[in-house]
């Protein structure tokens, strides 16, 4: 077991880094690391075979921390509860967190089931779609330029650990999709075949567009098919995360038949 390092100063360099990562949505791009807060995300990383760089625990929680968590990282840090609270971006500060390094400089993988995010703005929507993608058998999420940062704290929390089971790439242009070798299925509220009647190809890439503007012209032009969801209630459109869950489930259901 690693000997824990005790940190009590708010001005410690590690504490300053954790505070930035917890409260700045794009700080992970500067540091090359992500701060995972709380028991659920910590365990999700380990269950997916990930290994943290640093494990941080509150002094009050340390006596009850399981051995598997104590030995998860090469560096273990103990902090006063009040110091953890000063770092955290959560209303209820956690008793533990991991500092880890996501895959840097990742490139899209050809031929694998994919979800494409086209300039989605809301972190909750992005995280929810990441979670649906992992649950419904998709292996990759590609975020085009203008999409909320995939590893921002809010997106990671909304993803509930799904990030660790997916290949994630962000900051892409539409041309990056040309090498996927997959049919692009584009959602639309006013054109295309009904989802419940469509024969969906597999593997494929589902494209989910901006909350207000929908899918951009560059991706519309690349689409193999336009698909719409039946809405007998008469609403103009669905929330994009809800639409994504419906579409991805339709692909999963046809595969299971």
DSSP annotation of 202: S
Residue 105's pLDDT band (cuts 50, 70, 90): low
Per-residue confidence (pLDDT) for residue 236, from 0 to 100: 65
Radius of gyration for the alpha carbons in the chain, expressed in angstroms and rounded: 20
Q: Which of the two residues, 237 and 119, has the higher pLDDT score? A: 119
> How many of the other CB atoms lie within 10 Å of CB of 56?
30
Checking if the pLDDT of 183 tops 80, the result is yes
Please tell me the predicted confidence (pLDDT) of residue 104: 64
Contact (CB, 8 A) for 129 and 208: yes
* Listed range (25-29, 121-125, 145-149, 229-233) with the worst mean pLDDT: 229-233
The pLDDT assigned to 89 comes to 83
State mean pLDDT over 105-131: 94
129-134-135 Cα angle (round to 5)? 95
- The whole-number pLDDT of residue 102 equals 84
How far is residue 181's CA from residue 142's CA, in Å, rounded to a whole number? 14
Q: Which helix (H) or strand (E) holds 255?
A: helix 240-256
CA angle centred on 155, ends 177 and 233, rounded to 5° = 80
What integer is the mean pLDDT of 195-201? 93
Over residues 227-244, mean pLDDT: 84
Higher pLDDT, 256 or 206: 206
User: Taking 70 as the threshold, does the pLDDT of residue 151 lie above it?
Assistant: yes
Query: What's the predicted TM-score (pTM) here?
Result: 0.93
Euclidean distance between CA atoms 185 and 235, whole angstroms: 22
Amino acid 1: pLDDT: 63
Q: pLDDT digits over 42-79, tens only? A: 999 999 999 999 999 999 999 999 999 999 999 999 99
The number of C-alpha atoms within 13 Å of 178 and in the hemisphere containing its C-beta is 6
Q: Mean pLDDT across the chain, nearest whole number?
A: 93
Residues 163 and 131: their CA atoms lie apart, in Å, by 8
Domain annotation for the chain: domains and CATH numbers: 5-100 (3.30.1330.30), 114-256 (3.40.1280.10)
- The shares of helix, strand and coil residues in the chain, as percent rounded to the nearest 5, are 35, 20, 40
Is the pLDDT at 173 greater than 70? The verdict is yes
């Amino acid at each position: 077991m690693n000997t824990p390092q005790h940190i009590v100063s708010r001005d410690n360099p590690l504490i300053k880094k954790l505070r930035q990562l917890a409260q700045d949505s794009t700080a992970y791009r500067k540091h090359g690391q992500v701060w995972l807060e709380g028991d659920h995300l910590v365990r999700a990383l380990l269950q997916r075979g990930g290994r943290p760089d640093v494990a941080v625990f509150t002094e009050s929680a340390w006596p009850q921390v399981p051995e598997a968590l104590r030995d998860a990282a090469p560096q273990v840090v103990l902090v006063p509860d009040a110091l953890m609270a000063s770092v955290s971006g959560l209303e209820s500060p956690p008793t533990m967190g991991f500092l880890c390094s996501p895959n840097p400089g990742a490139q899209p993988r050809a031929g694998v089931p994919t979800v494409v995010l086209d300039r989605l703005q809301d972190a909750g929507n992005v995280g929810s779609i990441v979670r649906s993608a992992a649950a419904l058998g998709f292996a990759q999420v590609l975020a085009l330029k203008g999409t909320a940062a995939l590893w921002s704290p809010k997106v990671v929390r909304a993803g509930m650990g799904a990030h660790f089971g997916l290949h994630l790439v962000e900051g892409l242009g539409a041309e990056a999709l040309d090498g996927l070798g997959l049919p692009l299925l584009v959602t639309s509220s006013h054109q295309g075949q009904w989802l419940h009647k469509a024969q969906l190809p597999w593997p494929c890439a589902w494209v989910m567009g901006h909350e207000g503007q929908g899918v951009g012209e560059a991706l519309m032009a690349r689409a193999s098919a336009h698909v719409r969801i039946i809405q007998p209630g008469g609403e103009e459109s669905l929330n994009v995360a809800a639409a994504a869950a419906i579409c991805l489930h339709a692909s999963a259901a046809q595969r299971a038949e």
